[in-house]
Structure 1
Amino acid sequence: MTSDINYRIPVDSEDSQLSDSSDEEYLPCDTGAIESDYSDIESNDSDSSHPDDELSGRRNIWKSSLTNVPRVAPDWKGSLPFANKVKNPIYYFKFLLGNILPTIVQQSNLYSIQKDISRPLNLLLDELEQFIGILFYMSIINLPRARLYWTANTRIANVANIMSVKRWEFIKSCFHINDNTKACPFGTDGYDALHKIRPMLTITTNILKDITLGENLCVDEQVVPFKGQSKMKQYNPQKPKKWGFKFFLLCGNDGIVYNYEMYMGKILQAEGMPDIGACGNSVLRMVVAVPLNQNYKLYFDNWFSSINLLVILAQRGIQCVSTVRANRLKNCVLPTDQEIKKKGRGSFVEKKTVINGVELSVIKWFDNRSVYLMSSFIGAHPISDVKRFDRKKKESINVKCPAIVKNYNKNMGGVDLIDSLLALYRIHIRSRKWYHRVAFHIFDMMLVNSWLLYRRDCNLLQIPRKEQESLLTFKISVAEVLCKGNKSINSVTGNKRISVQSEYIKKCKKGTAQCLPNSEIRKDQFAHWPKYNDKKVRCKLPGCKGITKVACDKCGVSLCFTPANNCFTIFHKN
């Protein structure tokens, strides 16, 4: 649950809960959930995109609730997966990536040849993993420029020892996910604005949809900071990061992402669903990952909400709670803000109606300002007290709070939670290519999602919180395995770099010299184990005059293997 997780929330988080804009609609806040207006969607996303005519085609009759009996929420029919053990961090991360890495390797090599046939990239899967691992190290250790990780004064060994700066920059310049030659021209039927990253979006979303869902879900937007050139870039002055790409996410209240979609400038009708306008369609497109008739609880804010949307979801066995705008409640007569304000802080009014067999409750509650909420499974009762500060009395007071408000605030913050986690260690490497920014964001999101899955398994196995890895240590562990796991590190530090083969040829010209194994065998990085001999002999590394008892079991060559002279490593790499 989100209430069990405490994080340091950075100032530059894209978390909409953290915005303190006075232009935003007020939301009652027990846990800090504050919703924002969306002013950057196309014109068909306005209130007029939600038809006022109800699904039944008849006029709704809203009646005041005269009973204090709480509504009985339907039981959730799903269940969380059984966890028999906690797996290694790298397992969770690679599971969420699926087979996208081999696709990137293939397309990057193809793109390098399309750019310059005389300079192929020749990228390998191990190198791509090292490239991603370096990106993760860079997100943890922030430096203003990428080259500073390799320069002498600011050198970071975990980055510089893995790959040379020229090789890393060459991979970055050729990093590609899809074939440009297969893209349809703009204006044709098959045109796809997201063609450059389509394989990555398809593979990752298909994997996320297979994750077992929790009971409480939420749909909200996410902003990926970007100021480069792109037609899909959005501007929202109410966000901490005003320029960027917009994503729609389906998350659990613990932050785990189950589905996502990148906004391209137009929201299409969900397949197999009625067209209820852009705002409602965006929710219907997200819930394709939710099983039917399992009584999952879905939460969203007033930009998405409408009567038609709640009725459609309830008929599919998905119960909802949302804030709602007053002009989307047709025929529902509620007290004005002035009238309800006279009744005092904590006063509320509840109205109910039934549409196509779905009972809806609408509550208008006054705290500092009025707020409208609508639900298909919960109402105002039972009433509880919340603490609020009274400016006139200059003390904390108890304010009556409807059950729907507490339920909404408890479960609505899943997208904002993952936003705040992403902002802690975001890949900050800049690029003019928009698809680089999106791909790096997806790598970050899959990493955070894998950590949240790891935490869920730990909680299911009742592992104490102190024994669980933090997001920082989890990301460092994944980066280390990506850079060094089952891979050879080409750079050698602390020793003079020499060419063993050239020095051996020089030694042969001076006289007899012990035969060396073939260079392919000597540098194959496989089964070269040190063993001890009974007698001391001269080290066979050219240029070394040391005496040693250590020899390579595979090569049969005596070599120094001490802290001062690590000839064993130099012999098998240079």
Structure 2
Amino acid sequence: MPAYFVERSGQRTELTGELLLQLIGDGNDSEIEEVEDDEGDQEESVLQLVSAEEPESPPRPGPSSATATKARQKPTKSRDTRRRIWKQMPFNQKEHSYPERSSAAVRSPLAYFEDYFDDKFFEHAAVCTNNYYMRKTGKVLNTTAAELKKFVGIHFIMGCIPYPRIHMYWRIEMRLALVADKISRDRFKILRMAFHVVDSDDAPAGNQNSLWKVQPVLTQVKNACDKLERQPGFYSIDEQMIPFSGTCPRGLRQVIKTKPRPQGLKAFVATTYDGLMIDFEVYQGAKTNFGDKSLGVGASVILHLSKSIPRGSCLYFDRFFSSIPLLERLNELGLHGTGTIMMNRVPERKNMDFKLDRKMKRGESQQFVSNDVVVVKWMDNKSVLVASNCTSGDDSCLIKRWDKNLSAFTDVSCPKVIANYNKNMGGVDILDQSIEYYRTFIKTKKWTLKVILHFFDLAISNAWRLYVLNSITTRVPKSKIMDLLEFRMQVSDGLVNAPERKRRSDTDEQDENQAPNTSKFRRPNPPSVAKRYDGYDHLPSFDQIDSPRACRMEGCKRIRPERDKDKSLIAAVRKGDKRIPLTVLSVLFENA
């Protein structure tokens, strides 16, 4: 039985497959906002008419007039009255010639981590933890900043060497000395239960921050990110999930089914294109302070995080944030922006005559321009729609794509705006990936502990990223740059072996940037840099080894000390060995 579509003029048109696809792909007939405004106007006029006809009556007890007026008011929504005319024409592209990152000295792994969490933070956390344990149990905990550093360092080790359950690290059959030798199981569990960073059980008066229990940790990380060098370049903004499925304050826990970690707290993160985080904001629902929300929540996130990005930079974001008014606002602020976009977010889209997907070949593209914004449609396996205020589809490049029919990779034409988006959009994903490699994943019902451990992992991943960038700019050989696992273990070793007393002055410290020994016989189990220069003046230990393979002194390339050779020769002479020349014997006895 045929179906028909009734147009506004009353004419009936047979509903074919082509017409159905055209209607579904275009939302131009939706006038929901105008209907709501008209209904509101009619309601106001009816209320005024009724109030004019009815006589005045004495006021009845109830809410105050101010409250009633506030309840009747509708939230005002700003309307974009700018008219846009979309034309299929070339776009004036903007250049992205950014300077290279300036070089900086390479420091020890622990020094990078201490940019985020220094000694003052651990001393404050020790005071808060002791006070909380005293309030809850009436007993004295007597923890110190050094012990809390050890507590955090052990969590880093657990992230690198995960066991299914915590108590297994202390079991005799599978005991891990890196953990069990540093702290007892019961002491570790007590510290984990009592660990606090605020010295209060109740929120301050008038507090609107749902994250007040972990705010000192967020402040430490944010302050460290604010100190990072910023220069014009490519940046990406996206969502990040803090995995947690338990109970937390209302508005914090979110569910995003498309994420690898679908449940947890959500944070909006701004990173460089290679994964170095420079700013973030944890989402708290409607209470989140994003500033101006006249362009929508997604646009307000971009405008809020872009305050810490230098002017002239290029931002990349996905369709959750994108809109044409946002790109126009970024252009006014001196920022370039590119992002995927949904068709129903393009105003005056009736003027856009994009081809249907089934009529486009792979690699084909179209673009429409209005003022300083361009919208490009490109056909890959399926169509992609991208909007930008800096780059268009006028220029193209060749990319490799898999062809099922040929069972091989083929060259496909791709617009420059799409290629740049694919290249620079993955900064937040790179950061998430580095966190997931060695995440401290422990089952707990406390959302505060989960958030704190997440930001510890984030800080160490961000510190490693900065270390790698500094190593590259100072031209350190690639073979000598530590990977994330080694960097994390170096930090954990420095925290676990943190000294109880203060270190020596900076004038007595040795050069920590000395190149490592590259001799054939490497010293077994060398201690970390933080442990070697912790100010304890470690004395050497002497081992009675009959045939030592190498001297453990740095810079010594001799396989065996000459003194040991002399002693062995003298012992051979005393045993009556006649194969030794007389000249050698005379030298030996003179030295003896």
Please, what TM-score do these two structures have when normalized by structure 2? 0.68
What's the offset of the Cα at 1:252? Answer: 0.7
1:93–1:450 Cα contact (<8 Å) kept: yes
Map of 2:342 onto structure 1: 325
Larger RCO (CA under 8 A, 6+ residues apart): 1
1:287 maps to 2:309? no
In structure 2, relative to structure 1, the CA distance for the partners of 1:240 and 1:74 (3 Å cut) is closer
Q: Which has the larger radius of gyration?
A: 2
2:130–2:141 Cα contact (<8 Å) kept: yes
- 2:94 aligned to which of 40, 51, 72: 72
Bigger mean CA offset, 262-271 vs 119-128: 262-271
Task: Read off the aligned partner of 1:72 and give its amino acid letter.
Answer: K
Map of 2:552 onto structure 1: none
SS in 1 for 2:401: strand
1:156 maps to 2:176? yes
1:190 maps to 2:211? no
What's the offset of the Cα at 1:52? Answer: 8.7
Map of 2:133 onto structure 1: 112
Distance in 1, matches of 2:220 and 2:257, equals 33
- 2:121 aligned to which of 100, 121, 142: 100
- 1:61 aligned to which of 85, 99, 104: 85
Distance in 2, matches of 1:398 and 1:205, equals 44
Bigger mean CA offset, 404-413 vs 478-487: 478-487
What's the offset of the Cα at 1:173? Answer: 0.7
- 1:316 aligned to which of 308, 311, 333: 333
Alignment of 1:261-410 (within 5 A): 261-266=281-286, 268=288, 270-271=290-291, 273=292, 275-291=294-310, 294-332=311-349, 333-336=351-354, 338=356, 340-354=357-371, 359-410=372-423
2:293–2:299 Cα contact (<8 Å) kept: no
Distance in 2, matches of 1:211 and 1:450, equals 11
Bigger mean CA offset, 428-437 vs 329-338: 329-338
Distance in 1, matches of 2:363 and 2:470, equals 40
The CA deviation string for residues 89-133 of structure 1, in whole angstroms up to 9 with x for no partner, is 00000112244323222211121112122x122211100100011
Map of 1:474 onto structure 2: 487
- 1:429 aligned to which of 434, 438, 442: 442
What's the offset of the Cα at 1:79? Answer: 6.1
In structure 2, relative to structure 1, the CA distance for the partners of 1:331 and 1:531 (3 Å cut) is closer
Map of 1:239 onto structure 2: 259
1:52–1:328 Cα contact (<8 Å) kept: no
What's the offset of the Cα at 1:531? Answer: 11
2:146–2:498 Cα contact (<8 Å) kept: no
Distance in 2, matches of 1:265 and 1:531, equals 59
The CA deviation string for residues 11-70 of structure 1, in whole angstroms up to 9 with x for no partner, is xxxxxxxxxxxxxxxxxxxxxxxxxxxxxxxxxxxxxx997944xx321111111x4x77
1:320–1:376 Cα contact (<8 Å) kept: yes
- 1:213 aligned to which of 204, 225, 230: 230
Task: Read off the aligned partner of 1:415 and give its amino acid letter.
Answer: V
SS in 2 for 1:416: helix
Distance in 1, matches of 2:539 and 2:384, equals 71
In structure 2, relative to structure 1, the CA distance for the partners of 1:325 and 1:211 (3 Å cut) is same
In structure 2, relative to structure 1, the CA distance for the partners of 1:182 and 1:427 (3 Å cut) is same
SS in 1 for 2:295: coil
1:334–1:349 Cα contact (<8 Å) kept: no
SS in 1 for 2:116: helix
What's the offset of the Cα at 1:474? Answer: 0.4
In structure 2, relative to structure 1, the CA distance for the partners of 1:221 and 1:138 (3 Å cut) is same
Distance in 2, matches of 1:530 and 1:267, equals 59
2:86–2:352 Cα contact (<8 Å) kept: no
What's the offset of the Cα at 1:389? Answer: 2.4
In structure 2, relative to structure 1, the CA distance for the partners of 1:122 and 1:81 (3 Å cut) is farther
- 1:222 aligned to which of 240, 245, 249: 240
Q: CA RMSD in A?
A: 2.5
Query: Percent identity at matched positions?
Result: 30
Unmatched runs of 5 consecutive residues or more in structure 2: 1-74, 502-534, 543-592
In structure 2, relative to structure 1, the CA distance for the partners of 1:381 and 1:101 (3 Å cut) is farther
Map of 2:465 onto structure 1: 452
What's the offset of the Cα at 1:382? Answer: 1.4
What's the offset of the Cα at 1:335? Answer: 3.8
What's the offset of the Cα at 1:530? Answer: 9.0
SS in 2 for 1:266: helix
Distance in 2, matches of 1:477 and 1:268, equals 37
SS in 2 for 1:389: strand
Distance in 2, matches of 1:281 and 1:429, equals 34
Task: Read off the aligned partner of 1:153 and give its amino acid letter.
Answer: E
Distance in 2, matches of 1:50 and 1:313, equals 23
What's the offset of the Cα at 1:184? Answer: 4.1
What's the offset of the Cα at 1:391? Answer: 2.5
Distance in 2, matches of 1:531 and 1:361, equals 70
Map of 2:451 onto structure 1: 438
Task: Read off the aligned partner of 1:71 and give its amino acid letter.
Answer: Q
In structure 2, relative to structure 1, the CA distance for the partners of 1:163 and 1:365 (3 Å cut) is same
Distance in 2, matches of 1:218 and 1:531, equals 52
SS in 2 for 1:212: coil
The CA deviation string for residues 162-203 of structure 1, in whole angstroms up to 9 with x for no partner, is 111111111111001113345047xxx423211110111122
The CA deviation string for residues 471-490 of structure 1, in whole angstroms up to 9 with x for no partner, is 000001000010114359xx
Map of 1:496 onto structure 2: none
- 1:175 aligned to which of 192, 195, 209: 195
Map of 2:477 onto structure 1: 464
Distance in 2, matches of 1:327 and 1:52, equals 18
SS in 2 for 1:192: coil
In structure 2, relative to structure 1, the CA distance for the partners of 1:394 and 1:163 (3 Å cut) is closer
Task: Read off the aligned partner of 1:103 and give its amino acid letter.
Answer: H
1:220–1:415 Cα contact (<8 Å) kept: yes
